[in-house]
Amino acid sequence: MIEQLLLLAAVFAIGFAAGRYRVYRVYSLQNRGEAVLAARLMENFKAPSYHLMNSVTLRRNDGTTQIDHILISRYGVYVIETKHYKGWIFANPNHSRWSQVLFKRKFRFQNPINQNFAHVRAVQSLLDFLPPETISSAVVFTGEAVFKTELPVGVYSTDRFIEHIRCQATEVMSENRMQFCIGRLEANRLALTQQTDVEHQQYVQQKHGLA
């Protein structure tokens, strides 16, 4: 009996340590904006109706795709790209690059809607038992940026995105189907390691010429 209790305690300790390590790895690979958004989502959307996955890297035919967050819920699956910017943002959903103006300097960055499109397709291919419209794209700006153009569809501030999710009242899946989605994604995500992150950045650099 004592040996069984000791074995059970050891298993619990190992599981607890592994969980702590996984949380640490997720946090260490997140930038500030991702960490801020993850905290807000976990605060507002809790189990069993919601489940948040962070820093999800999936294999593609030509490399990997790295997704900031996937929020699985009874009301749909949200594939989220996070941007933590300051200054003015000039955005056109039809352009391949958007612009940031900060202290009179202009910077260009990849259109995050296009960037997240590949993420959505990767999730759709894994969750192919769900209707495609169940899986939606969201680009969330968590910093102090001000849009000087009309805000494109599917682009939100943190508060607006949280309000958008709260407004979704139509259930599209059961809790059991949610768990199946989570299991499929967990089984296919790559390990949360620095090497995984480096390999993905190299792939992005080769494909787009930027990190």
pLDDT in tens, the chain (211 residues): 555 444 444 433 433 344 444 444 444 445 889 999 999 999 999 999 999 999 999 998 878 999 999 999 999 999 999 999 999 999 999 999 999 999 989 999 999 999 999 999 999 999 999 999 999 999 999 999 999 999 999 999 999 999 999 999 999 999 999 999 999 999 999 987 544 444 434 444 445 454 4
- Kindly state the tokens that stand for 65: 């795709």
Domains of the chain plus CATH, in order, are: 31-208 (3.40.1350)
Residue 30 · residue 55 · CB < 8 Å = yes
SS3 15: helix
Give the whole-angstrom CA distance, residue 84 versus residue 47. Answer: 27
Residue 57 · residue 200 · CB < 8 Å = yes
Residue 102 · residue 159 · CB < 8 Å = no
Give the whole-angstrom CA distance, residue 190 versus residue 59. Answer: 8
